[in-house]
Each structure stands twice: as structure tokens, then as C-alpha cells.
Amino acid sequence: MKKIDEEALADAYNRALALEKAGDFDAAARAYAEVLAIDPEDHGGAAVRLASMGRGDTPEKAPDAYVATLFDQHAEVFDTVLVDQLGYCVPLLLRQRLQALGLGPFARVLDLGCGTGLTGGALRDMADDITGVDLSENMVEVAHDKDLYETLYVAEAVDFLDDNEDEPFDLVTATDVLPYLGALEPLFFGAADNLVPGGLFAFSSETLPEETFGGRPFMVGPHQRFAHAAAYVRQRLDETGFDLVEMTGITVRMEEGEPIAGHLVIAKYRG
């Protein structure tokens, strides 16, 4: 891996951000192209910013280097910012829906994108064994200190699902994973491969008005996260072996004082 010129990268990235903020998207796109030339692994997420501005192709997923860097930087204050400031409560909403549907308890749970352990904490008394997986090493360290998981891994979610050879799970959760993925097939196939027949797959997604998608199954939204059309989520679940239990419209979080619309989905693996 070539050595990154940090000074040149910072200059190009800061220039790109300033141009983007000023609304000069063409000039910002040229600056982001410089960023990618200096840092092909894309630790700053230039690819998703280009897509968000409509100046680049929509990637299949957010770059792993970007996701790891983003969450490594915020690990120590993650709970305070996400829960207290942004009103994120998806793990508790998931617990409520599982209980309302009479689902659980669970012998083995896999928490993909476990972060600091918000979902693990919400489901701890509903599971005998919980495995957590996150791409951010700093997030996993915070989760480890909470003593919520029997096992923790630092890994990308789909890579873990592809490589895992342990016993299958009764419940796989992904409560803040889809906003960093575009195409859902790899995640959904991976979840199916790691579930017992009849096992549950529960996840959240962000969405936008149908006219905004313009027929696209997914896109990068204005806050550099992926949004998914509800019809696309339903279709891919069916094609990867799942029956939809329910898809509930929720507010995923607040962003600049505005609610971010999304879905909480629970599906059952047909086996």
C-alpha cells in the first residue's frame, strides 16, 4: 500500500468540503477526485459524497476504510451523540416489536454492526448467547467493556457472514448497517446462510420519498448515507429466502433538527 501524502490529502479534502458547502458541486467533484487519487481506499468517504451530490456513480457500499475511520473517531462519544443528541432508539424499538409479536427468547443472536453495544444491551435478557461484529476496532473495545457479548469480532459484516463456520443463529440483527450498504443481496444471502430454518432477520433502513428514488432501488441521500426503497427491500428478502413478518415505518434518528424516515423490518428465514 502506497504511503499517503497526508498534507495533500487534507488540503484536497478540506477544499472539497468547502466547495460542496458553498454549492459549487462541479468544483467540489474535481476536488474529491483529487482526494481519491491520493487516497484510493477512501478513508474520507469521497465516493459517497460524490454520489450524494449527484456527481458520481452510486457505489455498491460505503468504503470499508471510510466506515472504520468514521466510527473509530466517534467511539468514545457515540452513545451520547447518537442517543441523546440524535434521538436514536432503534434497538429499543426492535425489542418492543419482538416482544409485541411474541418472538423470543433466543438461544443464539448475531448482532451485525454492533457498535458500542446498544442492540446487545436492548436484547441482553432475551438471549442466551450474543455475538457482536463491527468494522470499527474502537467501537468493539467500548462494547467489550460493557460485558454484553459472549463473543466479539472486528470484521466487515458481509465478510464475517461469508467466513463464519460456527453454529447458525436464531436471530441476526443489523440495526444501523444498511445506511452504509447500497446493494442488499450480499448481506441478505449472508444472513440466510447463518440462520437456522425459521430464524429471524431484523434490521433498520433509511428511506426517502418514492419520487426521490425515481425508480432506483437505493441511493446515497443528502447526509451521505444510503437510503433504500421499501419495494426493493421486500423483493430482495423474498429472493434470498425470507418471508416478511412486518415492515414498520419509523423515525431512525434526527439530522439537523429533521426526522430521518426509515423502516424497522423483521423477516423469517424459510430455510
Rounded to whole angstroms, the Cα distance separating 83 from 89 reads 7
Range of the domain at 32: 6-57
**H helices then E strands: how many in the chain?**
12, 9
Whether residue 192 is contained in a domain is answered as yes
Dump pLDDT digits (tens) for 123-151. Answer: 999 999 999 999 999 999 999 999 999 99
Residue 199: inside a domain: yes
Q: Is 245 helix (H, G, I), strand (E, B) or coil?
A: strand
Residue (of 227, 233, 228) closest to 245 by Cα position: 233
Q: Answer yes or no: is pLDDT of 89 > 60.
A: yes
Dist CA 121 CA 83 (whole Å): 13
24 and 122 in a single domain? The answer is no
Residue 174 one-letter amino acid: A
- Quote the pLDDT of residue 81: 82
**pLDDT for the residue 5:** 85
The mean pLDDT of 14-41, rounded to a whole number, is 95
Is residue 133 domain-shared with residue 27, that is, in the same domain?
no
| pLDDT at site 26 | 95
Same domain? For 150 and 256 the reply is yes
User: What band does 83 get if pLDDT is binned at 50, 70 and 90?
Assistant: confident
Question: Can you give the CATH number for the domain in which 251 is found?
Answer: 3.40.50.150
Co-location of 29 and 120 in the same domain: no
Percent of the chain with pLDDT over 90: 90
What are 50-78's pLDDT values in tens digits? 999 999 899 999 999 999 999 999 888 88
Which pLDDT score is estimated for 137?
97
Report if residue 72 sits inside a domain.
no
Has residue 63 been placed in a domain? no
**Residue 103 shares a structural domain with residue 53:** no
H or E segment at 145? helix 137-146
Residue 93 main-chain phi, psi, to 5 deg: -60, -40
pLDDT at 114 over 60: yes
Helix axes 6-22, 25-38, angle to 10 degrees: 160
Q: Residue 135 falls within a domain, yes or no?
A: yes
pLDDT of residue 79: 85
The answer as to whether 70 is a domain residue is no
* pLDDT, averaged across the chain: 95
Specify if 252 maps to a domain: yes
Do 248 and 202 meet the contact criterion of CB atoms below 8 Å apart?
no
Same structural domain, 30 and 129: no
> In terms of Cα–Cα distance, which of 95, 90, 147 is closest to 116?
147
Residue 169 lies in a domain: yes
Identify the pLDDT of residue 2: 59
Q: Are residues 163 and 47 in the same domain?
A: no
Other C-beta atoms closer than 10 Å to the C-beta of 115 total 26
SS3 199: strand
The residues pairing with 266 across neighbouring beta strands, listed in sequence order, are 202, 246
Check: CB of residue 171 under 8 Å from CB of residue 104. yes
Judged against a pLDDT cut of 60, whether residue 1 lies above it is answered with: no
84 in the same domain as 53 = no
Half-sphere exposure for 23 (CA within 13 Å, toward CB) = 0
User: How many structural domains is the chain composed of?
Assistant: 2
Query: Is residue 104 domain-shared with residue 229, that is, in the same domain?
Result: yes
- What are the grid coordinates assigned to 223, written together? 447526509
Considering the domain architecture, whether residues 198 and 259 belong to the same structural domain is answered as: yes
pLDDT of residue 4: 82
Distance CA 228, CA 174 (A): 15
pTM for this one?
Answer: 0.94
Q: Does residue 134 share a domain with residue 46? A: no
Domain identity same for 41 and 113: no
Note the pLDDT tens digit of each residue in 191-200. 999 999 999 9
Omega prior to 105 cis, within 30 of 0? yes
- Characterize the bridge pairing of strands 226-228 and 218-220: antiparallel
Residue 221 CB neighbour total at 10 angstroms: 19
